[in-house]
């Protein structure tokens, strides 16, 4: 990101109206794919923009605002994908959102993120049980990065912290 943009974001004052929150979320939303757990970070601000919600800026909103500013202005550690290396997809789901990171091992042997995905659940999705939320995180991530992953000759490794989905990762032959 250009230094002038970083400076402008860092100097952005805390919103005092819903329109200012919407403007900030519009800017921040452009960078969401490079911010881990963006939806979770933005949730307190997003709640302020809902119709019928009284505007009240508390420590919770201030913390979210500062967290997003920091996340979109820090130096990225993302790498460019290498189609000759295996992709590693890690997913997780909470009660309100899903998140995923697509990574590959770098020359140093460590995992380096290629991109992040973060989405808030819709009201019906919030009613899903844990199993379905975790599975939805995997499906959404695979759909999101489909163009990158679809033609790869090397299997994509999928990791989730939900033990009941373990069988899904094991290769099976179906008749």
What digits encode the pLDDT tens for the residues 68-104? 999 888 855 678 899 999 999 999 998 889 999 999 9
Q: Are residues 97 and 65 in the same domain?
A: no
DSSP H/E element including 144: helix 130-144
Beta pairing partners, 120:
97
Q: Which of 23, 71, 17 is nearest to 48 (CA)?
A: 17
Total domains, the chain:
2
Claim: this prediction has a pTM higher than 0.85: no
Question: What distance in Å separates the CA atoms of residue 87 and residue 49, rounded to the nearest whole number?
Answer: 37
What's the domain range around 65?
3-73
C-alpha closest to that of 146 among 90, 80, 102, 92? 102
Residue 156 pLDDT class (50, 70, 90 cuts): very high
Let me know if residue 81 belongs to a domain. no
Residue 175 lies in a domain: no
Instruction: Give the pLDDT band of residue 41 (cuts 50, 70, 90).
Output: very high
């Amino acid at each position: 990101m250009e230094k002038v943009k970083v400076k402008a974001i860092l100097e952005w004052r805390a919103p005092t109206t819903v329109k200012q929150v919407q403007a900030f979320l519009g800017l921040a939303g452009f960078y969401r794919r490079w911010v881990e757990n963006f939806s979770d970070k933005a949730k307190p601000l997003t709640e302020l923009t809902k119709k019928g919600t009284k505007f009240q800026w508390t420590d919770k909103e201030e913390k979210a605002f500062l967290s997003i500013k920091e996340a979109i202005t820090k130096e990225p550690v993302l790498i460019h994908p290498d189609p000759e290396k295996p992709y590693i997809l890690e997913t997780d789901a909470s009660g309100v959102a899903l998140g995923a990171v697509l990574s590959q091992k770098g020359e140093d042997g460590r995992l380096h993120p290629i991109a992040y995905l973060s989405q808030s659940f819709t009201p019906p999705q919030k009613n899903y049980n844990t199993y379905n939320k975790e599975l939805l995180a995997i499906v959404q991530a695979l759909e999101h990065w489909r163009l990158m992953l679809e033609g790869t000759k090397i299997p994509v490794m999928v990791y989730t912290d939900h033990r009941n989905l373990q069988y899904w990762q094991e290769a099976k032959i179906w008749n």
